Structure formats: structure tokens, C-alpha cells
Chain A
């Protein structure tokens, strides 16, 4: 496995750059669809410069938690706080200003299909900055180059591969130099090498932009390679069952469900009912 080789370096760089100032605080969050409660009593804190992993088995509500964090769904109970602004209670205008400081990479890239890659990256620049169109074009080209897509400025999303769409989505997420980057399953549908390159890129971005990164994933290689903090959601009990550095959890967690997940099921904890 190619990703195994750089786990050591990642561990060093993650621990050196994180500081302890809270950036995102989730307090008593309950997520529900109508009367169906998906997850309750979620509490965690993400520090500045963290690469925070939201993990758990399929269907446990990882992506839904992400949708709450970026304001696409409203908490049923509880609140989400960024720095010292309460995002859940903020008015529409404050929220829009906050959203501009976020970058989101969606699972399928979610590029606007009627626009070229340069237009995709350039749209937020055109809407929220005073740059001229030629400056926008230059910056869009730069962001695409950072994502490894130099020369693809005038391609439409349908003309490039899935992995490239994902990288273009990343270039767009970086357009406004965001303070927080959100990734929804970044390695889904990527081959092991592309997915490891994407991990490297995420680390690089965190270090160079000083951004905080929140990643939804269940890819173990990625979790250990980049994550330095995490929340583990359990689908059966509908609560979070662990938080902390994934490497610590692997070394010290006593919870059989967490151990099973982090060892790919090799350690079958005692008394665990497993649903295929």
C-alpha cells in the first residue's frame, strides 16, 4: 500500500502545527429527519489547524453531520459555533458572510456542469471580490494548477475524469482562500494513488493556508495519514462513542466497536452484534 509509507511524516506535521484555540464547537447537537432521530447529543471541538475526521460505518449520519456544519440542514436541538459566532443562531446576512470563509468539496465534485473549470473556480471570485475578469482568470488558473489541473481551464466538467472533477472541486473550494475546508468522502471513487495524493494535498493546504480541515471519510488509510482529531459516530446506538486523535484511539480505545472499525474488523470485540 502506497499510503502506508508516509503515515510517519504526517503524524509529525499534524502534531506540530495544531494549536489549542477552538475553531468549531458543536454542542448537544441532535440531528433528525422529521420524527426520525439520526444521531443525538453530539459534542466535539475542532481546534485551529486541526484535520478533523468524522467517521463511522455506512449510514450513520456522517454526511448529514457535515450538512449541519455548513448550514444546509438545521439542528433539531443544539448549536454550532464558529470561533465566537453562533452559526445556528446567526441571521441570514451573518451566515452568508461566514459561508464565504468556508470551502466545501462535495462527494461527486458538484461542479456546475454548464460552466468551464475556470468559470467554476472564477464564479465566487467574480461575485465576492473586486478583481477584473483577467485577474480572475489568472487566479482560477493558479488554483487549478495547485490542484494539478494546469491547462484544463477551458474544459467542461463532463469532459474530464471523476478524479479530475474532484480535484477541480477542490480548486473551487479553495477559490476564496477559505479558513475552513470541508471534504465529503474525498477518496470515494479514487484509485489508491490518487487518493493518497489527495491526502498529501489536504495536508499541504492545511500547512500553507493555515486552514482548519473537516473530513468525512471511512477510508482507514486516510484517517491515519491525515487526521489528528476525530469524532466516531455509531449507527446502532445513535450517539458518538469516541473523540480524539485516531492514532490514540487505535492504541488506547477500549470500546470494541471503535477497535473493530479501526482495525478493519480484525479485532472482533467481545459481545458485539454486527450487522453486515
Chain B
């Protein structure tokens, strides 16, 4: 029933051949954007397949109510007519329809604006990507160079930045991150202890869970987990903040004032994160060991005293400082990725989101790759 009603309420088009060289297009019913309107393709085929066609005229007497769906239909019809040099007699159209149609055709299509959708071949895409990566390595190196120059100025006390900004960033990426680092590193300690406990308790060697957690946390897990937290938290924040400043031209405003954005914006962020990462990592090491202690005492029935004694006897300064060194380096990478992506941000709000995403991906990838390299190097030099 409903379908029948909607059918009846739909615009229809019929074609009458009136003589050899003329075609009468009869439009009737209501034409609205909201309902399914007939496609112009059928009519175009009809026009193209009629030989010797000279004139097309329109009959709109049966038309009830119409909107831009009909105009779109007519514009396409008219384009087909023009392409085949067929005259149009628009006398049968109401005044408003004729004017809208003329308005739509008033400005001819600008040449070269329509981009042909060509799909690049596989090799072309691989090539473009490779060139893109090559260029981005160049950008990275240039950024690193600028940062080194800015750092040199900082050491000579000539860098232009605000102390307040440095303190604010330190608070933001140091003190404010303690909560999340507490939670994650405690849980990582618990997870490490569980993994060890399942195997070690079979041999009655559960006390070695303490060794496992202690070495695991101080040597690698503390540093890499803190790095991953800080990538998501601070690296993204750096990229979003600098990206927004780029979009609102705040960075341009600094440059044209003769203040280097590298010194004013990047330097405090890199310094803050490089200073805070080892502290957070040390804290994460401690919390991880506490997490292991909870499992050891609560599940494996070890005494807290024994667990701590075992931990202390395993803990070496080499592992501890190795971990802190790694954390510092990860901090440098995260700040670098965040600031670089922020500076490269495009000029729209979606570009800010992309910059933040890329910053997180880039810093996590660089962090994990660095972690792998460190593992091999430390092994080779016997640390």
C-alpha cells in the first residue's frame, strides 16, 4: 500500500516523438530531492539514439511540485543536447525553472579544475612512498640540526625562552604523569611476577621471582613502559599543542617577531622530558618491584623480608643506570617526534589530529627500535 502511494508520488518522465526532428519531453508528478528521481542517463541515451534530432522541447503542464532534483536532471539533459548540437525550446518551462537552469549554466566549467581520478600503478605508489620516506628523513635531520644549534645557544645562556614555560612543561610531563605511571608500572611488576611464578614454583624456586622482577624492571621494562605511557600522554600533547599553534599562526607570529620557535617552544619541551624521564623511570622501577612483592607475599607465600633481601642482592647499579640512560634517550626521542610532527602539521583541524597520531606512532616505533638496538649493544659490550 505504502509502496504504491510512493510510486504514485514520484516524478515521471516520458518522451514523445513529434515529427522527424523534434522530441517532446513530458515531465509530470512531483519532483523532490527526498524521493527517488528518474535518472537522466535513460533520457540521454534516448536523445543520442534518435537520428536527425534537431530540437528538444519540454512540457511541464503535468508537473505538480519540483525542487533541485529536477534542475539537476534538466542540466544533464541540456548538457547532452549541447554536446550533440541540438536546440532546446524552453518555452514550456515555468519562469523560475528556466532562470535556475540559466544560473546553473551561466559560468562555464573552468578548465583543469576537474581532477581525473587516475589510480597510480603499484610501482608508482611504492616509488612515491619511498621518496616520501626519504624526504622525511631529511626533514628529521634538519630538525635535529636546528635543535642542536638551539641547544648550543641554551648552553651559552643565549636561548630565548620563558622559564615559566619550562617549569610548566616540567610539571605537565613530570608530576602530572605520576598517577598513570604508578598504575601501569605496578601492574607490569605484578604481570612479570605472575609469569615467573607459574614456571619457577614448579621447581620450588619461587624466591627467584624477586630476581626476575628486579632485573626485568630495572633493565628494560621500567624504561620502555614509561616511554610508551609518555608517548601517548606527552608526545601527543606536544604535537597537538604545536600543531594548533601552527594552524592559528601563533608560530608565524613568533618567527616574525624574531623569536626562534625552536628555542621558544621546542627547547623547553625537549629539556623537560629529558629531565623527567629518568625520574619517572626510577619511580616506575620501584613500583614494579612493589608489584612483584605483592604477588610474592600474597600468592607464593614468601616473606616480605626474604623477598626484599633477594631483590637487593640482585639489584646492580649497571642495570639500574642502564635503564635510566635508556629512559633518558627515549624521552629525547618522544619530545623530538612530538615537536617535529607538530611543526609539520597542515593547516586544518583534522591535520592537528593526524599530527598527534603520527607523533605517537613515530615515538613508539623509534622507542621500541632503540630498545632492540640497546639490547644487542648492551649484550655485546657485556653490560
Contact = CB atoms under 8 A, between A and B. Distances in A.
A102 B250 contact: no
A113 B255 CA distance: 16
A70 B160 CA distance: 20
Contact of A110 (B107, B108, B250): B250
B253 interface: yes
The dominant DSSP class at the A interface is loop
Contacts, number: 59
Given A70-B256, A104-B252, A112-B250, 9 more contacts: A67-B252, A71-B256, A99-B255, A99-B257, A112-B245, A113-B245, A113-B248, A124-B258, A274-B107
25 contacts: A70-B256, A96-B258, A99-B258, A100-B257, A102-B256, A104-B252, A104-B256, A106-B253, A107-B249, A108-B249, A110-B248, A110-B252, A110-B253, A112-B245, A112-B253, A112-B254, A113-B250, A114-B165, A123-B162, A124-B259, A127-B160, A127-B258, A127-B259, A274-B107, A275-B110
A112 B248 CA distance: 9
Interface of A: 67, 70-72, 96-97, 99-100, 102, 104, 106-108, 110-114, 123-124, 127-128, 172, 273-276
Given A107-B249, A110-B250, A113-B250, A72 B107 contact: no
Interface in B234-261: 244-245, 248-250, 252-259
Interface in B129-166: 160, 162, 165
From B160, B248, B258, residue with most partner A Cβ within 10 Å? B258
Contacts of B107: 274-276
Contacts of B252: 67, 72, 104, 106, 110
Interface residues of B, number: 19
A124 B250 contact: no
Interface of B: 107-108, 110, 160, 162, 165, 244-245, 248-250, 252-259
Nearest to A169: B253
From B110, B244, B256, residue with most partner A Cβ within 10 Å? B256
A99 B110 contact: no
Nearest to A274: B107
B258 A72 contact: no
Nearest to B260: A96
Contacts of A273: 108
A93 B25 CA distance: 74
Contacts of A70: 256
A194 B165 CA distance: 34
A108 B245 CA distance: 12
B322 to A, nearest CB: 37
Contacts of B244: 113
Contacts of B248: 108, 110, 113
